[in-house]
Amino acid sequence: MNQGMDDYRSAPAIDAEFKGQYKALRIVSFMRWITLVIGPGAIIIDDFIQPWMVNQGLPSILTMDDLSRWFILDILGLSNYIDIDLFLEIYHHVNIISCVLFVVFIIWVEVAKRKAVSAASELTLLEDRMRRGV
């Protein structure tokens, strides 16, 4: 962004743009990690790690399926509205949707990161120009 020294009033707009881009990056990054845990992470634990541990002779431990069922049905008290079979059906659909969203968030984080870096460089250039003018 080319900007003259006479137009220093736009500095708050550039600063707000950087803050907005950085906030968007943090939100999308957080959502990427949430979808990783709910989607691919849960599938790997439930379908690969837990059966492998049982085949090795280790005791059957809680899976993400059991943990989610306990949290949603018991802690949140939704067992009055959702039976276990319906929960399992919904749980597996949520896993698949989270896997797709995880891929989307990976791409979105890269785009948001580029925008935040661009906004930060514009802010840095403007601050450098303002310091030179003083």
pTM for the model: 0.73
Distance between CA atoms of residues 44 and 37, nearest Å: 10
Do 98 and 38 meet the contact criterion of CB atoms below 8 Å apart?
yes
The ranges assigned to domains in the chain are 12-133
Q: Where are the alpha helices (DSSP H) in the chain?
A: 11-36, 42-44, 50-55, 64-69, 84-133
Each residue's pLDDT expressed in tens, for the chain with a length of 134 residues: 455 555 545 556 767 877 888 898 899 999 999 999 999 999 999 889 889 988 988 887 778 888 888 888 889 988 888 888 899 899 999 999 999 999 999 999 999 999 888 888 888 887 777 788 66
